[in-house]
Amino acid sequence: MTESLGDDLHIWLCNVDKFRDSSVLDRCVPWLDDVETQRWKRFRFERDRHLFLVAHALVRHSLSRYANVPPGAWRFAVGKYGRPEISGADAKGLRFNLSHARGLAAVLINRGIDCGIDVEPRHRDVDTLAVSKRVFADAERADMLTLPTSEQRARFFEYWTLKESYIKARGMGLALPLAHFAFTIGNPITVGFDASMEDDPSLWQFELHSPTSDHQLAWAARRGHGPERRVRMRWVDSW
Protein backbone atom coordinates (compact mmCIF):
# COMPACT_ATOMS: atom_id res chain seq x y z
CA MET A 1 0.00 0.00 0.00
CA THR A 2 1.45 3.36 -1.04
CA GLU A 3 1.53 6.45 1.13
CA SER A 4 -0.54 9.55 0.36
CA LEU A 5 1.42 12.67 -0.55
CA GLY A 6 -1.11 15.10 -2.00
CA ASP A 7 0.19 18.68 -2.10
CA ASP A 8 2.36 18.23 0.98
CA LEU A 9 6.13 18.09 1.22
CA HIS A 10 7.60 15.02 2.89
CA ILE A 11 11.14 14.96 4.28
CA TRP A 12 12.76 11.65 5.17
CA LEU A 13 15.85 11.70 7.38
CA CYS A 14 18.27 9.01 8.44
CA ASN A 15 21.15 8.85 10.87
CA VAL A 16 23.73 7.41 8.52
CA ASP A 17 25.84 5.92 11.31
CA LYS A 18 22.93 3.71 12.45
CA PHE A 19 23.02 1.85 9.12
CA ARG A 20 26.10 -0.26 9.78
CA ASP A 21 24.71 -3.80 9.72
CA SER A 22 26.34 -5.61 6.81
CA SER A 23 23.14 -7.42 5.82
CA VAL A 24 21.33 -4.07 5.53
CA LEU A 25 24.12 -2.55 3.45
CA ASP A 26 24.38 -5.63 1.23
CA ARG A 27 20.69 -5.22 0.40
CA CYS A 28 21.29 -1.59 -0.66
CA VAL A 29 24.05 -2.23 -3.18
CA PRO A 30 21.84 -3.91 -5.83
CA TRP A 31 19.45 -0.94 -5.64
CA LEU A 32 22.04 1.36 -7.24
CA ASP A 33 22.03 1.79 -11.00
CA ASP A 34 25.22 1.56 -13.06
CA VAL A 35 26.07 5.27 -12.72
CA GLU A 36 25.54 5.27 -8.97
CA THR A 37 27.55 2.07 -8.59
CA GLN A 38 30.50 3.56 -10.48
CA ARG A 39 30.40 6.69 -8.32
CA TRP A 40 30.15 4.60 -5.15
CA LYS A 41 33.20 2.53 -6.07
CA ARG A 42 35.29 5.60 -6.86
CA PHE A 43 35.21 6.94 -3.29
CA ARG A 44 38.61 6.51 -1.68
CA PHE A 45 37.51 6.46 1.94
CA GLU A 46 35.10 3.98 3.50
CA ARG A 47 33.19 6.73 5.35
CA ASP A 48 32.44 8.46 2.04
CA ARG A 49 31.36 5.23 0.35
CA HIS A 50 29.11 4.48 3.31
CA LEU A 51 27.49 7.93 3.26
CA PHE A 52 26.88 7.75 -0.49
CA LEU A 53 25.36 4.26 -0.32
CA VAL A 54 23.01 5.01 2.57
CA ALA A 55 21.93 8.39 1.16
CA HIS A 56 21.07 6.96 -2.26
CA ALA A 57 19.33 3.98 -0.69
CA LEU A 58 17.28 6.48 1.32
CA VAL A 59 16.11 8.16 -1.90
CA ARG A 60 15.02 4.89 -3.47
CA HIS A 61 13.42 3.50 -0.32
CA SER A 62 11.53 6.76 0.26
CA LEU A 63 10.27 7.07 -3.33
CA SER A 64 8.92 3.53 -3.13
CA ARG A 65 6.56 4.65 -0.37
CA TYR A 66 4.59 6.61 -2.99
CA ALA A 67 4.50 4.21 -5.94
CA ASN A 68 4.42 0.47 -6.47
CA VAL A 69 8.04 0.47 -7.63
CA PRO A 70 10.79 -1.54 -5.91
CA PRO A 71 13.73 0.59 -4.67
CA GLY A 72 16.08 -0.90 -7.24
CA ALA A 73 13.75 -0.22 -10.18
CA TRP A 74 13.84 3.60 -10.10
CA ARG A 75 15.64 5.24 -13.01
CA PHE A 76 16.96 8.77 -13.13
CA ALA A 77 17.98 11.29 -15.77
CA VAL A 78 20.35 14.16 -15.13
CA GLY A 79 19.52 17.70 -16.26
CA LYS A 80 21.83 20.26 -17.87
CA TYR A 81 23.28 21.33 -14.53
CA GLY A 82 23.43 17.87 -12.99
CA ARG A 83 20.18 17.66 -11.01
CA PRO A 84 18.70 14.13 -11.12
CA GLU A 85 15.01 13.64 -11.87
CA ILE A 86 12.93 10.50 -12.08
CA SER A 87 12.67 9.21 -15.65
CA GLY A 88 10.10 6.96 -17.26
CA ALA A 89 6.50 6.15 -16.53
CA ASP A 90 7.17 5.49 -12.84
CA ALA A 91 7.57 9.20 -12.05
CA LYS A 92 3.82 9.94 -11.64
CA GLY A 93 4.69 13.57 -10.93
CA LEU A 94 7.08 12.75 -8.08
CA ARG A 95 9.93 15.19 -7.56
CA PHE A 96 12.76 14.85 -5.07
CA ASN A 97 15.97 16.40 -3.86
CA LEU A 98 18.70 14.79 -1.78
CA SER A 99 21.27 16.23 0.60
CA HIS A 100 23.75 14.49 2.83
CA ALA A 101 26.49 15.48 5.21
CA ARG A 102 28.61 13.61 7.70
CA GLY A 103 26.15 11.65 9.86
CA LEU A 104 22.89 12.71 8.18
CA ALA A 105 21.00 12.19 4.92
CA ALA A 106 17.75 13.91 3.96
CA VAL A 107 15.46 13.62 0.96
CA LEU A 108 12.58 15.99 0.17
CA ILE A 109 9.71 14.55 -1.90
CA ASN A 110 6.65 16.21 -3.42
CA ARG A 111 4.50 16.05 -6.52
CA GLY A 112 5.12 18.41 -9.37
CA ILE A 113 7.04 21.37 -7.96
CA ASP A 114 10.68 22.47 -7.92
CA CYS A 115 12.24 21.75 -4.55
CA GLY A 116 15.64 21.78 -2.89
CA ILE A 117 17.04 20.68 0.44
CA ASP A 118 20.41 21.19 2.07
CA VAL A 119 21.95 19.86 5.29
CA GLU A 120 25.25 21.01 6.75
CA PRO A 121 27.22 20.05 9.87
CA ARG A 122 27.41 23.15 12.03
CA HIS A 123 30.90 22.33 13.29
CA ARG A 124 32.60 21.90 9.91
CA ASP A 125 35.86 23.75 9.47
CA VAL A 126 34.97 26.87 7.52
CA ASP A 127 36.06 30.51 7.76
CA THR A 128 32.58 31.98 8.06
CA LEU A 129 33.75 35.60 7.76
CA ALA A 130 35.76 34.99 4.61
CA VAL A 131 33.11 32.85 2.94
CA SER A 132 30.26 35.22 3.81
CA LYS A 133 32.23 38.11 2.31
CA ARG A 134 32.64 36.18 -0.93
CA VAL A 135 29.18 34.66 -1.45
CA PHE A 136 26.59 36.35 0.77
CA ALA A 137 24.56 39.38 -0.24
CA ASP A 138 25.55 42.53 1.66
CA ALA A 139 22.36 42.48 3.74
CA GLU A 140 22.91 38.86 4.80
CA ARG A 141 26.49 39.48 5.86
CA ALA A 142 25.51 42.66 7.69
CA ASP A 143 22.81 40.76 9.59
CA MET A 144 25.26 38.03 10.55
CA LEU A 145 27.80 40.57 11.83
CA THR A 146 25.25 42.34 14.03
CA LEU A 147 25.00 39.18 16.16
CA PRO A 148 27.34 38.34 19.03
CA THR A 149 30.39 36.44 17.84
CA SER A 150 29.12 33.30 19.57
CA GLU A 151 25.97 33.34 17.41
CA GLN A 152 27.47 34.22 14.05
CA ARG A 153 28.40 30.66 13.04
CA ALA A 154 24.81 29.47 13.52
CA ARG A 155 23.46 32.35 11.43
CA PHE A 156 26.08 31.65 8.74
CA PHE A 157 24.80 28.10 8.31
CA GLU A 158 21.20 29.27 8.26
CA TYR A 159 21.97 31.55 5.32
CA TRP A 160 24.23 29.00 3.67
CA THR A 161 21.66 26.19 3.73
CA LEU A 162 18.88 28.50 2.55
CA LYS A 163 20.96 29.63 -0.40
CA GLU A 164 21.96 26.08 -1.26
CA SER A 165 18.37 24.84 -1.06
CA TYR A 166 17.23 27.59 -3.43
CA ILE A 167 19.86 27.00 -6.10
CA LYS A 168 19.19 23.27 -5.89
CA ALA A 169 15.46 23.89 -6.34
CA ARG A 170 16.21 25.99 -9.41
CA GLY A 171 18.28 23.10 -10.74
CA MET A 172 21.15 25.35 -11.78
CA GLY A 173 23.57 25.00 -8.89
CA LEU A 174 26.35 27.56 -8.74
CA ALA A 175 25.42 28.86 -12.18
CA LEU A 176 23.24 31.19 -10.08
CA PRO A 177 25.37 33.86 -8.37
CA LEU A 178 24.85 33.51 -4.63
CA ALA A 179 25.24 37.23 -3.94
CA HIS A 180 22.39 38.11 -6.33
CA PHE A 181 19.66 37.05 -3.91
CA ALA A 182 19.24 37.82 -0.22
CA PHE A 183 17.23 36.11 2.48
CA THR A 184 15.58 37.74 5.47
CA ILE A 185 15.31 35.26 8.32
CA GLY A 186 12.04 35.74 10.15
CA ASN A 187 8.57 34.27 10.26
CA PRO A 188 8.11 33.74 7.38
CA ILE A 189 11.53 33.57 5.75
CA THR A 190 11.56 35.81 2.68
CA VAL A 191 13.91 36.36 -0.23
CA GLY A 192 14.74 39.24 -2.55
CA PHE A 193 16.19 38.85 -6.04
CA ASP A 194 18.42 40.95 -8.24
CA ALA A 195 16.65 41.70 -11.53
CA SER A 196 19.09 39.42 -13.34
CA MET A 197 17.68 36.42 -11.44
CA GLU A 198 14.35 36.57 -13.33
CA ASP A 199 12.40 35.14 -10.42
CA ASP A 200 9.44 36.14 -8.26
CA PRO A 201 9.90 35.99 -4.46
CA SER A 202 6.18 35.47 -3.88
CA LEU A 203 6.34 32.05 -5.57
CA TRP A 204 8.67 30.53 -2.99
CA GLN A 205 8.42 28.95 0.44
CA PHE A 206 11.40 28.32 2.72
CA GLU A 207 11.96 26.76 6.13
CA LEU A 208 14.86 26.16 8.51
CA HIS A 209 15.12 23.14 10.81
CA SER A 210 17.60 21.64 13.26
CA PRO A 211 17.10 17.88 12.88
CA THR A 212 20.03 17.19 15.22
CA SER A 213 22.17 19.29 17.52
CA ASP A 214 24.99 19.02 14.95
CA HIS A 215 23.13 19.78 11.72
CA GLN A 216 21.39 22.69 10.05
CA LEU A 217 18.72 21.96 7.44
CA ALA A 218 16.88 24.24 5.03
CA TRP A 219 14.42 23.53 2.25
CA ALA A 220 12.98 25.54 -0.61
CA ALA A 221 9.85 24.89 -2.68
CA ARG A 222 8.38 26.80 -5.61
CA ARG A 223 4.79 26.60 -4.35
CA GLY A 224 3.35 29.13 -6.82
CA HIS A 225 0.55 31.50 -5.82
CA GLY A 226 -1.38 28.90 -3.83
CA PRO A 227 -1.35 28.39 -0.06
CA GLU A 228 1.79 27.41 1.78
CA ARG A 229 2.66 23.74 1.51
CA ARG A 230 2.55 21.64 4.64
CA VAL A 231 5.72 19.77 5.48
CA ARG A 232 6.03 16.46 7.30
CA MET A 233 9.44 15.37 8.56
CA ARG A 234 10.15 11.80 9.65
CA TRP A 235 13.09 9.56 10.49
CA VAL A 236 13.91 6.27 8.77
CA ASP A 237 15.44 3.71 11.13
CA SER A 238 15.53 0.66 8.87
CA TRP A 239 14.58 -0.76 5.49
Q: Which CATH number is associated with domain 118-223?
A: 3.90.470.20
Cβ of 214: how many Cβ atoms within 10 Å? Answer: 15
Tell me the pLDDT of the chain (239 aa) as tens digits. Answer: 789 999 999 999 999 999 998 888 899 999 999 999 999 999 999 999 999 999 999 999 999 999 999 999 999 998 777 788 998 766 788 999 999 999 999 999 999 999 999 999 998 889 999 999 999 999 999 999 999 999 999 999 999 999 999 999 999 777 788 999 999 999 999 999 999 888 999 999 999 999 999 999 999 999 999 899 999 999 999 88
Domains 9-113 and 118-223 share a fold: yes
Query: Domains of the chain: which residue ranges?
Result: 9-113, 118-223
CA–centroid distance for 210 within its chain: 13
Please classify residue 115 by burial: count the beta carbons closer than 10 Å to its beta carbon, then call 0-12 exposed, 13-18 middle and 19+ buried: buried
Three-point CA angle 52, 44, 76, nearest 5°: 35
pTM: 0.94
DSSP summary character for residue 190: E
Out of 3.10.20.30, 3.30.360.10, 3.90.470.20, 3.40.50.880, which CATH number does the structure's domain 9-113 have? 3.90.470.20
